[in-house]
Amino acid sequence: MTSYVPTPADKFTFGLWTVGNVGRDPFGEATRPALRAPYLVQRLAGLGAYGVNLHDNDLVPAGASAAQRDAIVREFRQALADHGLVVPMATTNLFTDPAFKDGAFTSADARVRAYALHKTMHAMDLGAELGAGTYVLWGGREGTEVDAGGKLLDALGWFRDSLNYLAEYSEVQGYGYRFALEPKPNEPRADIFLPTVGSALGFIATLDRPDLFGVNPEFAHETMAGLSFPHAVAQAIDAGKLFHIDLNDQKMGRFDQDLRFGAENPKAAFFLVKLLEDTGYAGPKHFDAHALRTEDEAGVWAFARGCMRTYLILREKARQFAQDPEIQAAISAYRVEDPALTPLTTFSAANAQALKAHTFDRAALGARGPGLEALDQLTMELLLGVR
């Protein structure tokens, strides 16, 4: 019987800000004490995690001296070595400091834009020192509450210039980062630039080095806007741009909840896991979520264990789906091939003329039932454990 116990080979990761979340929200103070980074590393390793990710100030407080910074990093690296965890991804906090209240790379204040580059380069140095190969850029403050300032096109230009600058810095320093843009539609800004995976992919094509940039889609972010996360991830995979992924859960239309993976949308979570497994996604599976504010420290580790366990359960369900003869027969019946027509859909002048001349039985095409109700019910029965 499958035990659903994670191992480092599963490549599950958490951010210091996830298991380190103290339960504060806009209406209430912290409900849990802060936990030190080396302790978080120890506990995650004990649960079978692969790695831990961080913003710069998750580890090194803003304003720390060079000596303090080096001591903190040294202790953290020792904890990683002692417990066998890695740092696959790093990022920068460009949203907490009041300096970024109207944007970082897209601020209308050139001094703020320069400071954002300054802070990000230092954070890239830290990530490279810890071995990170992916650098995520979440533009949480890159947006507007009002558009009267007229900066929309300028802001996209400033954003583009900043990303080009950071890519050059990475290459000159020899860091070799792959940058992953993380889309989100809103919160904490009323409207955030590059709100969806599709918009981020379009923007990447305008950069000087689009080969260095991909996306870091997040389950909650697409769900907030009422979009399908598996569809967004499929688009990223199709474009060769799934550089990293954030797994959590979310009720549609709510504030950014960062719920335990699979907690609200198990069917969407299943199709996501199936997509990642079927396409051979080999990168880290990062749980960008946190325990409910109601929880104490024991609840934090129950949350972390639950994220990983749910993924493993759904991975096993995906294997069962692929081996279920009735499900596979329904899929085969759904997908109709036509040996005579299929060659004509590869373009040539002759094929185009032959396809134009072909007579289709529209009534028969419209009358056919593809069997999706039955297929969806079979899927639900599989997920509910009765198949």
Residue tagged active-site, from 55, 221, 244, 286: 55
Classify 12 as helix, strand or coil. strand
Token pair for residue 185? 């539609």
58 is catalytic: yes
Quote the radius of gyration of the chain (alpha carbons, Å): 23
Classify 205 as helix, strand or coil. coil
Amino acid at 209: R
Classify 72 as helix, strand or coil. helix
CA gap 205, 163 in Å, rounded: 12
**Strands 134-138, 143-144: parallel, antiparallel or unpaired by DSSP?**
unpaired
* The residue to which tokens 């069997």 are assigned: 371
55 is catalytic: yes
CA gap 184, 196 in Å, rounded: 6
Residue tagged active-site, from 56, 58, 102, 246: 58
* The residue to which tokens 């533009």 are assigned: 139
Token pair for residue 238? 């199709």
* The residue to which tokens 């870091």 are assigned: 216
- Dihedral angle sign, alpha carbons of residues 114, 119, 125, 128: negative
Catalytically active residues are 55, 58
